[in-house]
Chains A and B, each alone.
Chain A
Amino acid sequence: MTEPLLTPDFLRRLDRLELETRRVLGGQLKGERRSKRKGIGLDFADHRHYSRGDDPRHLDWNIYARLEKLFIKVFHEEQDLQCHLLLDASKSMEFGDPNKLLFAKRLAAAIAYVGLRRQDRISLTCFNEATGERFGPARGRPNIRRLLTFLDKLEAGGETSLFNACRECAQRVSTRAVVIVVSDLLDPAGFDAALRQLVRQSLDVFVIHVLAPQEIEPDLRGHLELHDVETDQRIEVTANERLLKIYRKHLDTLCSAAQAFCLRRGMQYMLVRTDTPIEDLVLMRLRSAGLMKG
């Protein structure tokens, strides 16, 4: 029996969390989330002067009796949160120890679990050239089991198509939403054009860059024929200190470029090693990054 994506203990700790966005995002449906928008809701927010056209049902008659002036009671409007998870399920994610795809599935499961529990609209798109499977949009706790089953069955395959995934996401999401991209960004076409699709929609974008320890510090020596599991490409190298140094330089360049790109466009970038405990990532780093609260 395979290990469950999320342990019961971790689930209990996730129950206390909810998704957060740094921006005022308007949901389509009423939800459990007190939005920053003022409107109809349960939680009193403020008073304002009555103006023509306001609903007389919201007049505060007690104030009128005291001050003989008309004030309207303003409430925090409770809305749902649209959260789109873009999960890289290409063959390159099927690498590393701990496995990158498994790590990404756990991370996606945790985020989606939090969202579904808080009545947020969660959709999950697995992007790779071959499958492009999608979950949701879904809302509410009954979908949690379906989500976990979906993730359980998810397998890596094909090449990365980050651009297609981002463009489709941008076209599909009509309102503002939180978009979380979980990928290794090892796309031969590059990541900047793809992420630029999401910038134009003014979405709150989190880019979680997942890399295996073997990719960050490759333990390779000698004369090797490297086989790309995603593209099936083979190249011959003689791994020596000089080559490894250059490799690390290129990896740093990739990460730095992704971080800089995200920072300039208001996106959140987070580089995550797969040997990071998922609990630490979700409960600490994502909270400190502003994606979770509670």
Chain B
Amino acid sequence: MNFINPYALFASLLAGLIVLMYLLKLRRQKQEVSSTLLWQKSIEDLIANAPFQKLRQNLLMYLQILALLAIVFALARPTMWLNTQLGVSRIILIDNSASMNATDGKDGRSRLEEARLIALELVGNMRRGDQALVATFGGPPKVVQTFTPEQATASRAIRSVPPTEATGQIREALAMVRGVRKAVPDAQLTIISDGALGYLGNLIQKDEKVDFFNVGKQSDNRGIVAFNVRESFERRGQMQVFAEVENFADHESTVLVRCLVDGKQLAIKEATLGPRGHQGVVFSDLGSANQTRKLRVELTGSKDLLACDDAVQGVIHFSDKTRILLVSRGSFFLERALALVPGVTVSRIDPDKYQPVVDYDLTVFDGFSPAGLGAGRYLFINAAPKAEGFGAGPAPLAMQTVIDWNRMHPITRFASFDNLAVAKALDLKSPDWMAPLVEGQVVPLVLAGERRGLRLVCIPFDLFDSDWPLQVSFPIFFSNAINWLLGVGENSAQAVQHATGDMIRIEGLKLADKEVLAIKGPGDRQWPMPANAEGSVFFNQTLATGFYDYSVAGKLRGSFAVNLVSREESDIKPMESLVTGERKLAAASISRQNREIWSWLVMAALVLLTIEWHVYGRRSWL
């Protein structure tokens, strides 16, 4: 005879417990009587001493029979058709991204709540020896619970999964799963999501054990999928807001787009959107932005399933005129290029008269490199910065042509370097943090980088040794470079609004000892953040949309905004399957299979025995 669970035989030791119960019941009060003769006869009348008697209604007998039946059934190892989805080791990836806040579940439940229920059911069906890992990927992937064989622990972790308004980072989550699979190769991956995951590529291999459970039923949503703030082209100094509204429902819808500045309504516009249609809305005349203003664009007049994409916000701040110091012996083209940048005042001095000053936002060194370069923003032309990691070779390099350039970088964007030819260039050695933007044959011809408060752009050749000033890319490059160096982009709403889940760096904090930066987010949540040695704070708790204010010792130091602005998340139409490469994962459902229920019967037997003992103790039915 074989036993599936021989350890259960140890349960026979419970017989000792039953004996103990019967021993306990023998505590009786002693009573003297003249004779037990009549009592003996009375008891004999109660307990017939004949081998057989008429069957009497005895609750004890029924309880004992029920207990016996329960135990016999338990020994028979019965099975029952129940919900299960089994695996030895299961990695449960729960999507808690913004789209999972859509409330199209049963009884108004959100998709995340539905996902939690599925995960709880999966964990509830764990067998002895199974284990589960719970992770989320709304924003940066996060392991909520490492592998645990305990259902209660896993269930607790699942219930604690918070909703976020971040985009789902399934790619990063799957990379994390790959790491987990190195330790547990046979782990079964279960993704519980509404399918708003974006392009998955070949992230999931053919032979990987993956289940996909989808949640969500409807697609009735309208959201703001693009947002920008910029200076008006027509009216310098005036700000404009652009917002793109998209309808993800299969029916036409009309929404009201409202723009608020510092909480006051500036304008409201109506947008009629066809099925899965979109429309751009522009708000002008926000006024000049010489002060920090909080801007909010929101959709009203149409109720949908997802709320967190119905509003975007930004913080606008334009400083006064930017001052640039040009340290040069004279460069016509350079001066002209700098002067073309709007809102900039350029001052030139000779290198001999240069003194490090702090009054300028940017310093351009042309053929000159000062000693003791401190924190700041610098553009070096035909000179190697005197800083750690920089240097110049003894001989200049002749005839350098462009091999390739970075078309995505803000500095080289919109500029073409195809025809740039450089007659002579420095053999510039640069540290690793300097990124080459324009690659020459031997050395980079344009480099840019940022480290410890130092923001640099290097052009290791003399402008007059090239034909660049005569090319269209010249003024565009300098405009881009100055904007990047000055952080012009950062001063627009584009920079001070971040995507949910982003890591945000707040720089230039000069905090006293034990002083912390207090960041206050939506819902009055607060995070005290200490600054690092460089006076920077890295903040990654940007999982909710809204304004974030940061202050030191109660004094407001700045604000930034966090928005969803994600077409993938706003498009809440549930996916029936996940497509990764050649593989298509159809949505699974909780399957059923035989599962033993003997433990329930043993529990019933124990309960019945307890009642039986209680009844026997009372002897009320005798």
Please tell me which one of the listed residues B29, B35, B38, B42 contacts residue A224 in the complex, with CB atoms under 8 A apart.
B29
Cβ-based interface call for A272 (8 A): no
Cβ-based interface call for A236 (8 A): yes
Please tell me if the beta carbons of B29 and A250 are within 8 angstroms of each other in the complex: no
Please tell me if the beta carbons of A237 and B39 are within 8 angstroms of each other in the complex: yes
Q: Which of A229, A238, A240 has the most CB of B within 10 A?
A: A238
- CB neighbours of B36 from chain A (8 A): 226-228, 231, 233-235
Please tell me which one of the listed residues B26, B43, B622 contacts residue A235 in the complex, with CB atoms under 8 A apart.
B43
Q: Is the interface of A mostly helix, strand, loop or mixed?
A: mixed
Cβ-based interface call for A230 (8 A): yes
Chain B proximity of A77: nearest CB distance (Å)? 45
- CB neighbours of A188 from chain B (8 A): 35, 37
Please measure, in the bound complex, the distance between the C-alpha atom of A7 and the C-alpha atom of B36, giving whole angstroms.
35
Please tell me if the beta carbons of A186 and B29 are within 8 angstroms of each other in the complex: no
Please tell me if the beta carbons of A226 and B42 are within 8 angstroms of each other in the complex: no
CB-defined interface of A219-261 with B at 8 Å, one 1/0 digit per residue?
0101111111111011111101011001100110010000000
Chain A proximity of B496: nearest CB distance (Å)? 82
Cβ-based interface call for A95 (8 A): yes
Tally of B interface residues using CB under 8 Å: 25
Tally of A interface residues using CB under 8 Å: 36
For window 185-226 of chain A, which residues contact chain B by CB distance below 8 Å? 186, 188, 212, 215, 218, 220, 222-226
Cβ-based interface call for B40 (8 A): yes
Please tell me if the beta carbons of B34 and A212 are within 8 angstroms of each other in the complex: yes
Given contacts A225-B28, A237-B43, A246-B45, is CB(A230)–CB(B34) below 8 Å?
Answer: yes
Please measure, in the bound complex, the distance between the C-alpha atom of A212 and the C-alpha atom of B35, giving whole angstroms.
12
Please tell me if the beta carbons of A227 and B31 are within 8 angstroms of each other in the complex: yes
Given contacts A224-B28, A224-B30, is CB(A250)–CB(B38) below 8 Å?
Answer: yes
Please tell me if the beta carbons of A242 and B622 are within 8 angstroms of each other in the complex: yes
Cβ-based interface call for A100 (8 A): yes
Cβ-based interface call for A184 (8 A): yes
* Count of A-B contacts judged by CB separation below 8 Å: 92
Cβ-based interface call for A158 (8 A): no
Please tell me if the beta carbons of B38 and A254 are within 8 angstroms of each other in the complex: yes
Given contacts A237-B43, A238-B619, is CB(A226)–CB(B34) below 8 Å?
Answer: no
Cβ-based interface call for A82 (8 A): no
Cβ-based interface call for B620 (8 A): yes
Given contacts A222-B29, A223-B28, A247-B39, is CB(A95)–CB(B622) below 8 Å?
Answer: no
CB-defined interface of B10-40 with A at 8 Å, one 1/0 digit per residue?
0000000000000001111111111111111
Please tell me if the beta carbons of A223 and B29 are within 8 angstroms of each other in the complex: yes
Cβ-based interface call for A128 (8 A): no
Please tell me if the beta carbons of A229 and B31 are within 8 angstroms of each other in the complex: no
Please tell me if the beta carbons of A240 and B620 are within 8 angstroms of each other in the complex: yes
Cβ-based interface call for B41 (8 A): yes
For window 158-195 of chain A, which residues contact chain B by CB distance below 8 Å? 184, 186, 188
Please tell me if the beta carbons of B34 and A186 are within 8 angstroms of each other in the complex: yes
B residues neighboring A (CB under 8 Å): 25-43, 45-46, 617, 619-620, 622
Please, could you name 23 A-B residue pairs with CB atoms under 8 Å apart, sorted by A? A96-B34, A186-B35, A186-B37, A186-B38, A215-B34, A220-B31, A222-B29, A224-B28, A225-B28, A226-B32, A227-B32, A227-B36, A228-B33, A228-B37, A234-B36, A235-B40, A237-B43, A243-B42, A243-B43, A246-B42, A247-B39, A247-B42, A250-B41
A residues neighboring B (CB under 8 Å): 92-93, 95-96, 100, 184, 186, 188, 212, 215, 218, 220, 222-231, 233-238, 240, 242-243, 246-247, 250-251, 254
Q: Which 5 residue pairs are nearest across A and B when measured between Cβ atoms?
A: A95-B34, A238-B619, A186-B35, A228-B36, A92-B34
